[in-house]
Amino acid sequence: MNAVEAVELRKRFISYERIGLIRRRKTIANALNGVSLNVKWGEVYGLLGPNGAGKTTTVKILSTLLIPDSGFARINGFDVVKEAKKVRGIIGLVLYPDKGFYSRLSGFENLVYFGRLYGLSRGKAEERARELLRLVNLDWAANRPYEEYSLGMRARLSIARALIHDPPVVFLDEPTIGLDPVSSRSIRDLIKGLKREGRAVLLTSHNLWEVEEVCDRVGIIGSGKVLMEGSPRDIKDRLGLRYVIEIEIEGDSKGKVIRVETTDPVAELKRIMNEIEGNGLRISRMRVNEPSLEEAYIRVVSG
Per the CB < 8 A criterion, the answer to whether 8 and 36 are in contact is yes
Check whether 78 has a pLDDT greater than 90. yes
d(CA 288, CA 260): 10
Give residue 252's pLDDT: 58
What's the pLDDT band for 133 if we cut at 50, 70, 90? very high
Beta pairing partners, 106: 145
Average pLDDT over residues 120-143: 94
Per the CB < 8 A criterion, the answer to whether 247 and 258 are in contact is yes
**Higher-pLDDT residue of 272, 195:** 195
What's the pLDDT band for 290 if we cut at 50, 70, 90? confident
Residue 63: CB partners within 8 Å, gap ≥ 6?
80, 87, 88, 91, 93, 95, 171
What's the pLDDT band for 135 if we cut at 50, 70, 90? confident
Check whether 18 has a pLDDT greater than 90. no
Average pLDDT over residues 112-133: 95
Category of 74 on φ-ψ map: left (φ > 0), alpha (ψ -120 to 50) or beta: beta
- pLDDT per residue over 177-192, tens digit each? 877 888 888 889 989 9
Beta pairing partners, 276: none
> How many CB atoms are located within 10 Å of the residue 71 CB?
16
Average pLDDT over residues 130-145: 93
What's the pLDDT band for 105 if we cut at 50, 70, 90? very high
Half-sphere exposure of 91 (CA within 13 A, CB side): 29
d(CA 3, CA 14): 31
What residue type is assigned to position 285 of the chain? R
**Higher-pLDDT residue of 16, 60:** 60
Average pLDDT over residues 152-174: 93
